[in-house]
Amino acid sequence: MKLTLILVFLFLGLQQKIPWNSPKEADNIQNPLKSDPVNIKAGNDLYTKYCLMCHGAKGKGDGPAGVSLVPHPGNLLSSRIAQSTDGSLYWKIKQGKAPMPAYVITDTQRWSLVNYIRELQKVNGISK
């Protein structure tokens, strides 16, 4: 019984530390959507509806449904994510990873979410 608990905690602990990496090919997917006020606004609306509950208003992973999640949603403003490619972010949004859902939305909507995450990074002084 004790051993089971130890193993469970070890497993959860490990899960939290392993970064989620996209496959190399994802880096080559080009963002077809230039960042402009219209699609940033569209991204903002989608983010509020589908992502904010876990990722939080500023992307810091402090949404009401996100704070106690394992693995934790992480911080979309981290330098690791700022440095990752648009293609990698798009791939992760499309793919999902439990407990993050793979939402059935259009590709354009996914790219406007990518552009919105970039905007969040920009307004918070984080750049590539």
List the interface residues with ligand HEC, window 58-97 (CB under 6 A). Answer: 65-66, 69, 71, 73-74, 81, 89, 92-93, 97
Q: Output the smallest distance, CB 19 to ligand HEC, in A.
A: 6
Q: Whole-angstrom Cα distance, residue 6 to residue 2?
A: 6
Q: Considering only residues 6, 9, 12, 20, which one is a binding residue for ligand HEC as defined by CB under 6 A?
A: 20
Please report whether residue 100 would count as binding ligand HEC according to CB under 6 A: yes
CA 1 to each of CA 6, 7, 22, 98, 109: distance values in angstroms, whole numbers, following the listed order: 9, 10, 36, 27, 47
Count the neighbouring beta carbons within 10 Å of the beta carbon of residue 9: 10
Q: Output the smallest distance, CB 7 to ligand HEC, in A.
A: 19
Identify the residue whose tokens are 């394992």: 70
β partners of residue 100: 97
Interface ranges with ligand HEC (CB under 6 A): 19-20, 50-51, 53-55, 65-66, 69, 71, 73-74, 81, 89, 92-93, 97, 99-101, 103, 113
